[in-house]
Amino acid sequence: MIILETLFGSKAPDKYELLRNYYGHMSFRQGQEALIDNIMAGNDAVGIMPTGGGKSVCYQIPALMMDGITIVVSPLVSLMNDQVAALKTMGIRGAYINSSLTFPQLLKVYDRMKTGEYRIIYVAPERLASEGFLAALSYQKVSMVAVDEAHCISQWGNDFRPSYLRISEFIDFLPERPVVAAFTATATDEVRNDIIRLLKLKDPHVEITGYDRKNLYFDVIRPKNKLKELFSLLNERRDKSGIIYCSTRKSVEEIAAALEARGYASTCYHAGMEQEERQRNQDDFQYDRKRVMVATNAFGMGIDKSNVSYVIHYNMPKSIEAYYQEAGRAGRDGEEAECIMMFSKRDVQIAEYFIENPEENEELTEEQQEAVKQMNIKRLHAMLGYVGTRDCFRGKLLEYFGEKHPPFCGKCGNCGTDFKEQDITKEAQMLLSCVKRAHTLLGYYVGENLIVNTVFGSRLSRLKELGLDTITTYAVGKNYPLEYLREVCDYLISLGYLKVNEHKGIELTEKSGTVLFGKKKLNMKVRADTKRVIHVTRESTANTKNMFEVLRQARFNLSLKEHVPAYIILTDAVLNEIAIKEPQNMDELLQIPGIGKTKANKYGKAFLDAIKTAKENQKS
């Protein structure tokens, strides 16, 4: 309270002032204002915004404007600790209550709660029912309960947390019902309805903002050798921070070891590691001590390191929801960033394995488990639709979330690629005919892999065993690359000229004949150029690049002194602006978006001094 009064005098601050002075942002982003206004009017609210969309501001600003205390329920310890640290750098007193506190620390927080020192308290859901917490809370009016990552309440989501189901009990327990607001990036109807129902929201204002993340570049590539491709991608991005997602713990460990052997400043994270090691590795990444994080999807929710400039998926994830959330961890600072997925057929098998062998979930009945499985199969198919599309990747993602989009975005692998229409009738006939002859020989339909290899003329021992090297279509396609034949075969399946049966064999369909007997010609779009360009240039001229480095060093020193991650002090985007504008004094510094009064007071001098020294060095 003290700080608020010194900043604004006795007049209650309005939301614009708060946004400018605390956060240093010049204007609200889409959806933020409507959510804040509704909460301030006493309405319950649901905010559905993509990762990086700016959900925190939507409950933090009301928290600062209301009397009493705001409780923020949040699923992850690291997330909470980071958010509270971020508030602190802005001059806002908050606290967190979770397992990372020692008992004496916990008592101290409770004491301060009683005297009304905090405006915002982050709490882990399983702590809501604890006696000490409830007792400390009884001294204050709770004006709002904000539920962050609210999709955790739904069993339909990927991150179901049973403890989230207790939130509404907690709210019922309070003497006066506070405003309840829920936030998530998950947009599906099932999840949204679960949130409203299970949190018992009263006629909430639902705000769904656009899903497009304009600064992200999307691509899917199919390298022959993933590891080799990974190294070449990383080489082009040496000075940048990025995440590499793998689908299994084993591949995380293998890739992390390979990177380390080659001298990359990398670290890794998966759920099988000791808690302590995980925390250490996560910190190394957050604090920029290590530039590359190799991880399973266990690393993620609640990671809001803002200067992640690429997310590479080493394997295809199991759904578009999961992909968009993980890829969305790139470019939170609004800077250009890349999302690249590496795809191979093996990824489909891995994804299918996970669907067939789900983690135990005792809270679901057998029937529900079956429903979840069916839904996961649907999701996988949608993911495959994305991977295989020759249309705009961004458009395909937005379409999945039910959003309209132009046919070309100009900023994805497909929009940046020249496709040429190619006549594939001959290749298609070879494949269809091979399916037919293999069936005649064996009496059953074999899988895609065997068909493609037969047409190509591989020396696989399995082909010999089955006698497939004796049929007339063996090696008729020896002049085409194997992967190309596979692509044509996939294409035939997608158009219904072939179908996959329950034994994974591929069969002819009624449509096959028209192509097989030459009545119909088939075209397919193929990538004309496969060379990729790097789309991200963060620092522009040599001069600003040097200045950026100087500022980065200054920020690093501050981060050591203050024990907060560098990006919480200032993001790369803001640092970049400073490097370009080279402010000479406090007033000029305050003009830069992203610098609030508190930050300027706290850190401004360090940056101004660094600029001055650098300029003097330039002259001499």
Task: Note the residues at the interface with Mg ion (CB under 5 A).
Answer: 55
Please say which residue, 108 or 214, places its beta carbon nearer to Zn ion: 214
Stretch that binds ligand ADP, among 44-52, 242-250, 384-392, 601-609 (CB under 6 A): 44-52
Stretch that binds Zn ion, among 16-24, 107-115, 410-418, 565-573 (CB under 5 A): 410-418
Residue type, 60: Q
Stretch that binds Zn ion, among 390-398, 436-444, 472-480, 594-602 (CB under 5 A): 390-398
When binding is defined by CB under 5 A, the residue of 147, 412, 547, 551 that contacts Zn ion is 412
Count of residues touching Zn ion (by CB under 5 A) = 5
From residue 221, give the alpha-carbon distance in Å to each of 106, 308, 313, 352.
49, 20, 10, 20
Based on the shown chain and the rule CB under 6 A, indicate whether residue 186 belongs to the binding site for ligand ADP: no
Based on the shown chain and the rule CB under 5 A, indicate whether residue 87 belongs to the binding site for Zn ion: no
Based on the shown chain and the rule CB under 6 A, indicate whether residue 302 belongs to the binding site for ligand ADP: no
Residue 279 CB, nearest approach to Mg ion (Å) = 20
Count of residues touching ligand ADP (by CB under 6 A) = 17
Please say which residue, 347 or 572, places its beta carbon nearer to ligand ADP: 572
The Cα–Cα gap between 24 and 31 comes to 18
- Determine contact, residues 505/451, Cβ cutoff 8 Å: no
Based on the shown chain and the rule CB under 5 A, indicate whether residue 220 belongs to the binding site for Zn ion: no
Q: Which does 267 bind (CB under 5 to 8 A by kind): Mg ion, ligand ADP, Zn ion, none?
A: none
The Cα–Cα gap between 491 and 509 comes to 14
The Cα–Cα gap between 134 and 136 comes to 6
Q: Which of residues 544-603 bind ligand ADP (CB under 6 A)?
A: 571
Q: Which does 396 bind (CB under 5 to 8 A by kind): Zn ion, Mg ion, ligand ADP, none?
A: none
When binding is defined by CB under 6 A, the residue of 98, 282, 306, 307 that contacts ligand ADP is 306
Report CA torsion sign: 250, 253, 255, 258.
negative
The Cα–Cα gap between 533 and 513 comes to 42
Residue 39 tokens, joined: 């909460």
CB count in 10 Å sphere of residue 88: 17
Nearest residue by C-beta to ligand ADP?
54
Rg (CA), the chain: 28
534 three-state secondary structure: coil
Stretch that binds Zn ion, among 51-59, 148-156, 222-230, 408-416 (CB under 5 A): 408-416
When binding is defined by CB under 5 A, the residue of 240, 394, 555, 597 that contacts Zn ion is 394
Q: Mind giving me the DSSP string for 4-48?
A: HHHHHTTSPPPHHHHIIIII--SSPPTTHHHHHHHHHTT--EEEE
Residue 208 CB, nearest approach to ligand ADP (Å) = 13
Residue 30 CB, nearest approach to ligand ADP (Å) = 9
When binding is defined by CB under 6 A, the residue of 56, 74, 98, 309 that contacts ligand ADP is 56
Based on the shown chain and the rule CB under 5 A, indicate whether residue 340 belongs to the binding site for Zn ion: no
Q: Which residues contact 394 (CB under 8 A, 6 or more apart)?
A: 212, 216, 218, 405, 409, 411, 412, 415
Burial tier of 191 (Cβ tally within 10 Å: 0-12, 13-18, 19+): buried
The Cα–Cα gap between 154 and 366 comes to 17
Q: Which residues contact 202 (CB under 8 A, 6 or more apart)?
A: 44, 180
Based on the shown chain and the rule CB under 6 A, indicate whether residue 157 belongs to the binding site for ligand ADP: no
Residue numbers at the binding site for Zn ion (CB under 5 A): 392, 394, 409, 412, 415
Residue numbers at the binding site for ligand ADP (CB under 6 A): 25, 28-29, 32, 49, 51-57, 304, 306, 332-333, 571
